[in-house]
Amino acid sequence: MSEEISQHIDQMIRHDEDESTSPLPDSFDELEPEQIALLLESLPQDARRHAWGLVPAELYADVLVAMRAEARESLLRQFDSQTLDQLTSDLDAETLIELADSLPEEVVDIALARMDDRQRTHYEQSASYAEDLLGRYVDHELLVLPHNSRVRDAERLLRRQVPEYSEHLWLVDRTGRYTGAVAINRLFGAASHQPLAVFYDEELEALSADLTLKEACEQFEMAAVAALPVVSTEGRLLGRMSQRLAFELVHEQHEAQLMASAGLDEDEDLFAPVMRSSQRRATWLGINLLTAFLASWAIGLFEGTLQQVVALAVLMPVVASMGGIAGSQTLTLIIRGLALGQITTSNIMPLLKKELSVGGLNGVLWALVIGVVASLWFDSAAIGLVIGLAIVINIAAAALSGVLIPVLLEKLKIDPALSGSVILTTVTDVVGFVAFLGLGTLLLV
């Protein structure tokens, strides 16, 4: 299927460049909404506008929801009133909550006016939660019955259309408060007059709508079910978190961390305007420039040494590189541990000792290798000794920094994936250069 999307991309771009050489496809009927979204995001702005005309009207909302925010907004800004009317003609609460931040306020009002009272209430409930809380994204398609219902009531309900990821019935009292869940497979063969309360799944716990998305995904993973109920602080059943939602959230979190490691936003459009992309990346480049100046300043302190022992300048990248790689390995391990909740105040010291031991062992091992190579290369045992000691010091500092930097950033409520690598690189560069050139000054000059 990826080849099919690639063919569509090539065809759309060729048509945009020369309409006579490549006709447009008739439609995207054979593609899923997620595939159409990926295709649109892969096209330059002009070709993207042409391609949108091939999207079936009934898929407008699903395609836009699947797109990244910036690419979606680039399309929405160019919609005429007829297209917006088609888009808002039959939106449900979940779809509108995904699109609301990208739509003009008056368009949101029109969409709300066209909803029935039930959907409008769902939207207002979801909109009352912040963007990083589970309550904003709950699925309202679920099987609900009063808590005093019987098996025959469940059988009648199940004869209707059953939503995806439905393993349980959710029971509520007269005020809408969640009272328990019943596994559907437990009802097979049960007497129709039996109360559903007899079949409660005691181990299934509801998720709080006030959980962060990360916390909700962690709890959902441990439950090992197709869906979990989501309740308000008062215990009212708001909806459910399904496997589909959990997978989407985990994927978005992974992509956000990947993009954040380079100082980028996961919603950034592949074909965003040049000026906008330049402005965003300029900040990150500026931060890196400051760290580079700091490392250069550390080198400048030993200018006289470098002039007298040119070999040190040749070997400097080796020291910085070894420290950087060792630190990155530790940093990645610690960030993963923080993300999984494995690192606490109780185990941070044993972990620090372990990483320092690993750093020390690897430092000594590679110091011997590099020291011998440098000694033979420059015919100087003293140079081999200097770089060997510097390697040990820098790898030990990298291990220490790889543990402490992400932990401290986490305490400061700063995403370690965003700035941890920049800080770590600065530390290993400065420590490595100062150790190497400082030892060179003491032992060689």
pTM value? Answer: 0.67
At which of 243, 266, 292 does a domain end?
243
Between strands 227-231 and 168-172, the pairing is unpaired
pLDDT tens string 38-75: 888 888 888 888 888 888 888 888 999 888 888 888 88
* Domain harbouring 237, CATH code: 3.10.580.10
Q: Could you tell me if 300 and 424 lie in one domain?
A: yes
Predicted confidence (pLDDT) per residue in 137-172, tens digit: 999 988 999 999 999 999 999 988 788 888 999 999
Measured distance CA(377)–CA(383) in Å, rounded:
10
Question: What pLDDT does residue 281 have?
Answer: 67
Q: How many CA atoms lie within 13 A of 228 on its CB side?
A: 24
Q: Are residues 311 and 385 in the same domain?
A: yes
Nearest to 259 by CA among 405, 68, 418: 418
Is residue 322, in this structure, part of any structural domain at all?
yes
306 and 439 share a domain? yes
Query: Measured in whole angstroms, how far is the alpha carbon of residue 405 from the centre of its chain?
Result: 20
Q: 154: domain range?
A: 144-243
Return the pLDDT at 59. 87
The average pLDDT across 236-256 equals 85
pLDDT-wise least confident of 122-131, 289-298, 381-390: 289-298
How long, in residues, is the chain? Answer: 445
**Whether residue 393 sits in one domain with residue 283:** yes
Do residues 41 and 172 share a domain?
no
State the average pLDDT for the chain: 85
> Is 268 contained in some domain?
no
List the CATH number of the domain containing 312: 1.10.357.20
Judge whether 254 lies within some domain: no
Displacement of CA 134 from its chain's centroid (Å): 15
Do 76 and 12 lie in a common domain? yes
Do 307 and 419 sit in the same domain of this protein? yes
User: Which tokens in the block code for residue 381?
Assistant: 């045992």
**Whole-number Å distance between alpha carbons of 33 and 39:** 10
Do 437 and 326 share a structural domain?
A: yes
Residue 179 lies in a domain: yes
Note the pLDDT tens digit of each residue in 86-130.
Answer: 888 888 899 999 888 888 888 888 899 999 999 999 999 999 999
> Are 285 and 321 part of one and the same domain?
yes
pLDDT of residue 46: 81
> Which of 10-14, 34-38, 73-77, 405-409 is modeled with the greatest confidence?
405-409
Give the least confident one: 265-269, 318-322, 406-410.
265-269
Whether 281 and 310 map to the same domain: the answer is yes
- Domain assignment present for residue 137? The answer is no
Asked whether residue 158 falls in the same domain as residue 193, the answer is yes
Count of domains for the chain: 3
Domain closes at, from 191, 221, 243: 243
Q: Are residues 161 and 289 in the same domain?
A: no
Please give the pLDDT value at position 372: 94
